[in-house]
Chains A and B, each alone.
Chain A
Amino acid sequence: MAEHSDPNAPWKTLSGIGTTAITAALFLFFLQYLPTVAAGEPVRWVIPWIPSLDVHLSFWIDGLSLMFALLITGIGALVMLYAAKYLAGHPQYDRFALYLFAFMLSMLGVVLADNLIALFVFWELTTFTSYLLIGFGHADPKSRRNALQALLLTATGGLALLAGFILMGVTQGSFEMSQINAAGSLVGKEFYTLILFLVLAGAFTKSAQVPFHFWLPNAMAAPTPVSAYLHSATMVKAGVYLLARTHPALSGSDLWIWILSIFGAVTAVFASLMALRQTDLKQTLAYTTLMALGTLVMFLAGSTGYAITAAMTFLLVHSLYKAGLFLTIGVIDHATGTRDANLLGGLKKAMPITAMAAAVAGLAMAGIPPFLGFIAKEVAYSGALEMHLWLFVVPMALIAFALMFAVAGIVAYKPFYGPQGELPHAPHEGPWPMLLGPVVLGVLGLLFGLMPGIAAHYLIEPAVHAVMGAPDRGGRVKLWAGFNMALLLSLVTFALGFLIYLRHQSLRERLARIEAKSPDLDASWDRFLDWFVRFSKVQTGLIQTGVLRQYMFATFTVFAVTVLVTLVARGAGPLRVSFSGLGIMEWGIAALITAGTVLVLMTSSRITALVGLGTVGIGVALVFITYSAPDVAITQLLVELLVVVLLALALLKMPYLDKGNVQKHSFPNAVLAIAVGALTTWVLLLVVDQPFDRRLTEFFEGASWTQAFGRNIVNVILVDFRTLDTFGEIAVVLIAALGAFVLLKGMRATKEEKK
């Protein structure tokens, strides 16, 4: 595969070591908050951003955000070091390091942001960086397609999320998540159902719940470090984070309990079956990640101490062992050239450290004591037994955990023991930068299991506190909880899991047959996109005819209808028109303008029409002069002159007028023109009829000389009081000129090519 490095290439590059070092420093930075947050004191920073819209860059560190921040920076640093070696010598490695680093920062933003709008911005940034990373091997059309699929699905969910956030902020009167949660539950309030559906749409697409799951296995087109980091340990958990974060405000309703339980459970069981069916180890891990996400969503359906503790413990342990296993698979792939479960076996001798790391991670995944995974499973069963829908949740959890036990055997045991298959090249031990990650993560899983008090006190319990909105009684996370229902269920899980492992070859074939018959959502997605593109083509063909006359007609029709509807709806009063006080000059100007208009309408020559239009323009300039607005008059006159020159130049290039065509359209055009003219006149007369508000005029008359040292008010407004507006306008002038310039040059270039 092209993504593999040259083993002799230098890997200690600035981009690799630099990003790793900064991420590790951030990890240490967050580590210092552990005691404060464990004592129940959240930390908050605020930078005002758009205060008028209540949008701030506010950050909030409580138990939940801190646990995520530590996972993001800790695993991030290990993955970046790993990637430096994994992709050493890759021509675009620097770009990769940049994407990965940008992702890390965006993800930190998601979990630290307190303001909903800021959270949304970071949320979308993770989507974009994920898109870039999945599509890193951009020469391969399949990876481009998979990247686009992930982008479209998660960004659509993100838009729903934005709508949900806005409704939530308006309903609770604040856009700060901490205040929304403090304001109490939203259940039963106006818009609750809508908010719930919108937020769930965002969370479920991001965390790949069935039926939005299909993008996640496809996202494995990304290089392995990315799969380990984004699509297992961090980004896909953003949806879970969101559900946990909004838990105090949104949970507790029947709707919440049913939706989360059912979607979570179905995702978990479906994904663990699919994991068993795969032969590519990376795909197997992708589906077990899906299973973990489903399990987390399922436990967040509950509100009891055990359910939430189960979710948080499982989240922690899963991030540790799954990132470790992904990295291990990367090492195996790197060393042997294959990830096929049927080929791999007996690698223990050649790769002892990798085998150790995989074993530790696999034991945690299987939930064997004394690993933290075992505790997570125990707490999970206790939580499931407490839930409303326990009759449904407990069996689903049992099936999922048993399948996961079997999969852990396939991923972490089978490649290293038993007979060795036919490998593309002879196995060798991985280099240390690639082993450090799996070893550290595996050892952490073991240490936390042996000393569950530390993990519980500093990480799990503060997170549970944050999710529940109140401190939990604690003491739920322990290695030996006595003989109880949960232990019994664990023993059943081991037995069932072992049976499945022994028979996994035949089960895999059976699952493959079922899969072949069931509907393929991935292919449906492609069909949907094809249909959408066809629809866009038809729609574009209808609207963008390419005929200028039709565009003008549509624009003016919309204008006329809008003005008319507004005037009628607002009950516009009758017109008071008075012709008194008009001298010979005013009548003369009016006659000049009318004569110009009549000339335009009557002539059959374009040049004559242009002259007529110029006459109208000069008439308007005369009006400005009569009413003592010399600046406007001069500008009008000059613009009119330039328009005539430019149009004359353009007319030289145009074909002769087709008289028949003109006549065909003249009737509807005349009706529209008269309507627009009459309506504009009506509106203007109504405006003039209002008493004139002189406040602005008086301000500028007074301030122009005293504050801006200028006597020409128009100019002073342009260059002093409203400079930013003028700056915007001249920027538009420049862009328009450059645009036209490029367009005309481009046309010339095309013509020359044709010649």
Chain B
Amino acid sequence: MTTSKRQWLRVLVVLVLLTATVPWGAGRLMSGMIGLLPGWVWYALILNVVFATGTCLLYEKWWKDESVEKDCVDVDDSLRREPDQ
């Protein structure tokens, strides 16, 4: 497994774990402290905020012009082919 694939896998595992545990715990906490809504609704609400923030941070981390440009040169080179007949 290449370093990049290992990195992807690690990020994925961390994301799944964070998504499953943090909003669930926070949801239970909110439900206990504030009440108003059932725990699973708090969980869904917090999950959405975590999901949005996680996605926003991933955009910052993964969308770097230099690396995307380099990827595209690689993809370009590897896919260069004769025109369609």
Chains A and B belong together in one complex: no
Chain B residues close to A by CB (< 8 Å): none
Chain A residues close to B by CB (< 8 Å): none
